[in-house]
């Protein structure tokens, strides 16, 4: 699920770039704000995919990486909206950053799954041992 969120995040990069251009034009923002919306989203989607891969072997570590990859763009985008006084369009930002919610959810699931040790099944424990050749 985290891998899907990261891939969607990469696919949403052009849309985030266009959103950044629109916000920069409407609010007379700077080019730095544009790079915040597009650049941070791109970097964090790649990081989220890495977290999804890591969660296969180490679920807690991968889960924390996925949660951070989802929260950082949301916090950066919200801070950007607050700085340019355009909280009216924050719903649009969250709609374009829906993939971050997927990353956060999959990160929570991975952390809760944790590193559970697999117990050997009883059928293996009760199986007869092969005869020893002398």
In a domain, 127, yes or no: no
Calculate ∠ Cα 68-85-38, nearest 5°.
Answer: 40
> The pTM is what?
0.72
Q: 105: which residues sit within 8 A by CB, 6+ positions away?
A: 1
In a domain, 33, yes or no: yes
Mean pLDDT, range 115-119, rounded to an integer:
55
Q: CA 48, CA 104: separation in Å to the nearest integer?
A: 9
Q: With 60 as the cut, is the pLDDT of residue 87 above it?
A: yes
Mean pLDDT, range 89-108, rounded to an integer:
82
Lowest mean pLDDT among 17-21, 78-82, 94-98, 115-119: 115-119
**DSSP labels for 34-86?**
HHIIIIIHHHHHHHHHHHHHHTTT-HHHHHHHHHHHHHHHHHHHHHHHHHTT-
In a domain, 129, yes or no: no
For residues 127 and 70, the model is more confident at 70
Find where tokens 């890591």 sit.
Answer: 54
Q: CA 17, CA 94: separation in Å to the nearest integer?
A: 14
In a domain, 128, yes or no: no
Q: With 70 as the cut, is the pLDDT of residue 80 above it?
A: yes
In a domain, 109, yes or no: yes
Range of the domain at 50: 2-115
How many domains is the chain built from?
Answer: 1
Q: How many CA atoms lie within 13 A of 126 on its CB side?
A: 3
Find where tokens 């293996």 sit.
Answer: 124
Report CA Rg, the chain: 22
In a domain, 79, yes or no: yes
Mean pLDDT, range 104-125, rounded to an integer:
71
In a domain, 102, yes or no: yes
pLDDT digit string, tens, across residues 18-70: 777 777 777 666 677 777 778 888 888 888 888 888 888 888 888 898 899 88
């Amino acid at each position: 699920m985290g891998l899907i969120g990261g891939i969607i995040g990469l696919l949403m990069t052009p849309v985030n770039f266009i959103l950044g251009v629109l916000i920069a034009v409407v609010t007379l923002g700077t080019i730095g704000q544009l790079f915040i919306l597009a650049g941070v989203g791109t970097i964090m989607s790649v990081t989220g995919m890495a977290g999804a891969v890591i969660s296969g072997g180490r679920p807690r570590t991968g889960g924390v990486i996925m949660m951070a990859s989802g929260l950082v763009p949301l916090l950066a985008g919200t801070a950007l909206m607050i700085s340019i006084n355009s909280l009216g369009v924050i719903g649009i930002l969250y709609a374009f950053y829906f993939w971050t919610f997927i990353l956060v959810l999959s990160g929570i699931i991975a952390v809760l799954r944790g590193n559970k040790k697999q117990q050997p099944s009883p059928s293996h424990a009760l199986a007869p041992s092969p005869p020893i050749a002398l």
